[in-house]
Amino acid sequence: MSGTEDLFTPVHKGIRAMIYDLSARLQTNDFTDRDSTQALAQDLEIDFAIARSAGCFLCAFAAHAHDEERVVFPRSAEAANALVTELIRDHQGLTRRELEIGQHARALGSISSPGERTAAGIRLNQLANELFAAYLVHMNREETELVPVMREHFTDAEQAQMRGAIIAGFQPDRLFALLGWMLPALNVSELTELLASVKGAAPPPFMKAISDIGAAHVDAERWAVVKQRVGI
């Protein structure tokens, strides 16, 4: 049994794009400016129930870990129990970091002194950098260690079924927010493969929604190549 699917790298590229964007915003934010600081804090929410946007960054990180543990890890543990156990332990550590960042971000709103808010912002940036470093290492490990195991033990059809189970658990706004990061983070070949698979399996309205996201977020030259290859 040997598959070619990769359930991790495409979505990880989207998450990396989120991390790079958020890191740049954190290190350039003027924490004396209460409005810009509040906008940044909202994107550092950890709870979908109170977040103002389905694209809140820490929500997306936490939800991605949950999707892996709900769908992928139980099956993968049959072939690589020790590795999956370590990856779940990583998730627990990442969650603790995310919760701490969320608490610091929410606390910024109650700090009236610009100087104190700046000091709190510096600490928030430090905590976020520690999270991002750990998250990047974790994702890289899933790609370099778990993907080969899954290709060895699961057919492409079985992995496609897992992907379908993950997508079925998404609310549409959350899915489209993630695609807004993921599609522009993929190269032409990855985009072509993704769109071709969607075109063959998804209803036309869903295909149109994804095509609209691609047109809005992927650079025009790259998107034109993908459209020509896929025939959309």
d(CA 31, CA 107): 13
Instruction: Kindly give, in sequence order, each residue whose CB lies less than 8 Å from that of residue 146, ignoring residues fewer than 6 positions away.
Output: 8, 76, 80, 83, 84, 87
Instruction: Show pLDDT as tens, one digit a residue, over the chain (232 residues).
Output: 567 889 999 999 999 999 999 999 999 999 999 999 998 988 887 766 655 566 688 988 999 999 999 999 999 999 999 999 999 999 999 999 999 999 999 999 889 999 999 999 999 999 999 999 999 999 999 999 999 999 999 999 999 899 989 988 888 888 899 999 999 999 999 999 988 888 777 788 888 899 999 999 999 999 999 999 998 8
pTM, entire model:
0.91
* Triad 57, 119, 31: Cα angle to 5°: 55
d(CA 93, CA 91): 5
Domains of the chain: 9-171 (1.20.120), 186-232 (no CATH)
Q: Where are the beta strands (DSSP E) in the chain?
A: none
d(CA 67, CA 83): 17
